[in-house]
Structure 1
């Protein structure tokens, strides 16, 4: 309502302003301006009064409307409060009834569950007792079965163990017997090795075995006099190739020595821990080796029939190691006596290297023979080339003759084209060319 009144006032004000501007525009002098302004003031007063009256009426109506609205809201709230209280009372009554019903049902359900649990407990207890009795019976049966099997297995295992122990004891007794036999054999071997001649034969056999295993029989000799004009014979000597022209052989002497007594005394002194005695026996062994090397050098080395050195073979690795352990001994033997000391292993390595050298020489010898054969083949091949050239010339001449005969044949054929041919039989009778026809047929 107030908005409508304000809107009307604004519209009237706009109209009045428009009228004023219109009157001002239309007036031509001051009097008209004064009359216009006075009229405007009157109009404004009327409008102001009208607006005040309308505002008063609007406030009165607004107050009345607000009072009525408050009364209606108050009455509505009272009715709503009464309705809510009534509904709450009804809900509380319903809930109490439902709670009573639920309590009765819960009590009934609890009693029913207790009865069922009692019955279930009785059933489970009965079944458990039956299971316990059954398990007790089965466990007793299993215990009896296990005891029986354990007894059988234990008796079987004990029997097998006693049998194995008996067999092992028999083997031990047998081994003891073999050890006794071996001890007797060792004693016999020791007695054999105490003989100087027997030791020499044993070392010689070992040396011969090594040579036989690595070299061929043509590459070494046994019990040969390597020094010209001397009757001293070395046990073994390896054949080395000499000068290629005359095919002489150069011998490499190898002699086996086994100073068992000196070496055994050294071992005994070392086992006893007597250092002075060990040093004394070591010096004795060193002196013995030097004497043997000197004898080999004097008896078997004779250049150019032999190499300028020889080999002293020691049959055992322990003896060879003891000789190597002596400081400067090998150098003295090589420098003064031209003797190389070897054991079984080192001699085998030396023989293998010599075997490779022999193979290299054989390959070189065969290669020279191959070169000679290739030279001869080259010479003969040159002659064969000349022969091929001559044959080619002869074949070329024959081919030229055949070409000439063919050309002449074609010329004669062209000349005889107009001549009438006779029957075959008449031609044969006249010329006697039956043999020629047969040869031509055979060629076809």
Structure 2
């Protein structure tokens, strides 16, 4: 039907084109023909319209029939598909229901089996726990008994030690109280010594003797030495100095202790009262006293060549020594005019140490030949010492090798015993009999 329509339209268009061509070639003669052709074209168009309407009507009826057939076919296909799907769903549902029933039965069987296993497991665990609890109770009871015994023994031992320590401390306390009483008596005696002029001199002499004893040997000084021939004056201490040309006659270094306590205490009292005039007056008195003592030492004890051309005045306290040095020109007067050197405890100790080192140097020089002989003897014995040392090192190496062998044997035994189950410490001590030995040692 569409082809017929297309052909009719094409013929109409072709006729129209031919009319136009004829009109263009012969306009006058062609008017009639054109009119005739237009009439033919109109009739053809009318026929064409009727044909088109008929064809359209037929096409509409055919399309309606085709659509109706298509709807019927689609409905039939859908019904068939629906029935097929319903059938398949029903079959699948039946299969799944069967599988669910089978799974439910299997699950029920597994549940029953698990319940039976859990029951047996609970019984086994309960029995093992009971056995373990009984075993633990027994071990705890043994441990409690052992701990009680050890605690009782330890407590008794510590109580005895505590009572003993308390007794010892009480004895120390009684002893300390006695020492404090003795110290109090010594303080009282020292106070009496410091308030007595003669006793103060004795105390200074004792302190000087202690310093000499601590720094010098007994053959390097003498006590109460008469340094001047034909004089009864004796110096408290004198240090022996070697004479010229290594002669047996020694040269004495006189050392005398002086303690101007009253004048020094007056200076301290005036300083505490901030009394400048009193301080100056007491300092002047101390200066005069020291000068007098220096002249006395020069006149009594310095007698070259039996003695050195100077002597030493020992002041027993550092405070008194510092006060004497603080007076301008006093130390210089004593040293240049009186040939007396003033020294406190620290200064005298340093001087005596210097003298002792000098004596040691002289002794080393005198005995250098003996030392050289001794070194030669030591050198001759050193070869023997090296031989003995080599032998000792060899013995030590052999002992070390033996110890390494013992260690290897011990490691081998430990590896062999590795699979053996260990006992706890208490049972092991009982098996080896160590607990009896420990109890005996504690008793």
Return the TM-score normalized by structure 2: 0.45
Report which of the two structures shows the higher radius of gyration computed on alpha carbons: 1
